[in-house]
Amino acid sequence: MADAIFQKAEETKQKILDTEVTTAEQLEAFRIQYLGTKNQIKPLFAEMRNIPNERKKEYGQLLNDVKQTAEQKFDSLKAAVAGDVTQQTVADIDMTAPPGELMVGSRHPVSIVMNRIINIFTKIGFTVAEDREIEDDWHNFTAMNTPEDHPARDMQDTFYLKDSTTHLLRTHTSSVQARVMTSQKPPIRIIAPGRVYRNETISARSHCQFHQVEGLYVDEKVSFADMKQTLDYFAREMYGPETKIRLRPSFFPFTEPSAEMDVWMGTKTEEAKKLTKGTGWLEVLGCGIVDPNVLENCNIDSDKYSGFAFGIGIERSAMQKYGISDIRMIFENDIRFISQFRSEI
């Protein structure tokens, strides 16, 4: 009986050696037959129990030889088949055929608008400054002239970290301005793009997270006229050379005087009427002269230096540019939505 088992193992080895393979399908069949989970070599190992003890070592060596033969044969056949496929593929290439369509990826509308704004301001000397999203109370509020009893510090308006009243998710990128002013000396000319968080009810027009690009310019004798000229340049670059702007009085804790800037969208189309609520003017950013208290909080001499700051909401600009009616679409990562911006590089 043992001799018959040995003979069967030898015959299996010979079959492996004699196998000829010319196609990828035949190669896969060989792999399944001799190296797969239910290959023909496994039953030979099960016959070990029928081999006398004095011949078990001899039989084990034979089985290992059969298994190694199968593995080596597969490797050699695989290399041969791959070589044939490569030669055939190269030979079949038509060098005169036109190229296939190049698939262009999509860029998110927030990224498109943010990069556009960054490019506009870097052309006139602003540099990009970025910092942490988890911020401390001083840089986010105190340095920005926001007193402790201000409603923005309330838990209902701000995301504080668990069991903490001093660290929070930043509510604006003004905290980046505070860190720059405390670490650099004027002149300072930066823009601070990034994500910010506010504890607001999510709806078609508002979200608990959004993006801003804030700007800051601090130097000697910086005036309101300098700010207006800078923002007028931005509006013409962003919305077109014929764009008109207006500045309306407003209030922000960290600027005085403060203003809201609107751009004229007109009332000729229903879309423009809806977007501007019939006024023709669309609010795009807040701005103002940096409050002297903010400069002093950051150890900058307010008698010698002055500056202006502004903040642009990216989602609002993206919604205006692309006619997006619901801000929630921007954050849902729906490929059907994002793929509409495939041509925007």
CATH code for position 260: 3.30.930.10
Place of tokens 């509510």: 171
Instruction: Give the mean model confidence (pLDDT) for residues 103-116.
Output: 85
Domain annotation covers residue 286: yes
In the predicted structure, residue 97 carries a pLDDT above the cut 90:
no
Among residues 92, 121, 151, the one where a domain terminates is: 92
Domain annotation covers residue 318: yes
Instruction: Give the mean model confidence (pLDDT) for residues 315-329.
Output: 82
Same-domain pairing of 274 and 158: yes
210 bridge partner residues: 196
Same-domain pairing of 152 and 284: yes
Closest Cα to residue 29, out of 37, 14, 21, 18? 21
- The neighbour count for residue 38, using CB atoms within 10 Å, is 8
Measured between alpha carbons, how far is 43 from 224 in angstroms, rounded to an integer? 90
Among residues 67, 92, 117, the one where a domain terminates is: 92
Instruction: Give the mean model confidence (pLDDT) for residues 118-146.
Output: 92
Domain annotation covers residue 28: yes
Q: How many helices (H) and strands (E) does the chain have?
A: 13, 9
**pLDDT score at 12:** 82
Among residues 66, 92, 118, the one where a domain terminates is: 92
Same-domain pairing of 63 and 134: no
Q: Is residue 257 very low, low, confident or very high in pLDDT (cuts 50, 70, 90)?
A: very high
**pLDDT score at 336:** 83
Same-domain pairing of 209 and 176: yes
Same-domain pairing of 183 and 298: yes
Q: What is the pTM of this model?
A: 0.66
Pairing mode, strands 127-128 and 188-197 = parallel
Instruction: Give the mean model confidence (pLDDT) for residues 218-240.
Output: 93
Instruction: Give the mean model confidence (pLDDT) for residues 279-307.
Output: 92
Minimum mean pLDDT among 20-24, 161-165, 195-199: which range? 20-24
Domain annotation covers residue 26: yes
Measured between alpha carbons, how far is 140 from 215 in angstroms, rounded to an integer? 15
Count of domains observed in the chain:
2
Domain annotation covers residue 97: no
Domain annotation covers residue 260: yes
Instruction: Give the mean model confidence (pLDDT) for residues 279-306.
Output: 92
Same-domain pairing of 48 and 127: no
Same-domain pairing of 119 and 80: no
Q: Which domain holds residue 265?
A: 109-341
**pLDDT score at 89:** 54
In the predicted structure, residue 276 carries a pLDDT above the cut 90:
no
Q: Is residue 343 very low, low, confident or very high in pLDDT (cuts 50, 70, 90)?
A: low
Contacts of 18 (CB under 8 A, 6+ apart): none
Domain annotation covers residue 100: no
Same-domain pairing of 83 and 120: no
Identify the residue with better confidence: 51 or 195.
195
Same-domain pairing of 265 and 318: yes
Identify the residue with better confidence: 342 or 85.
342
**pLDDT score at 152:** 66
Q: Is residue 213 very low, low, confident or very high in pLDDT (cuts 50, 70, 90)?
A: very high
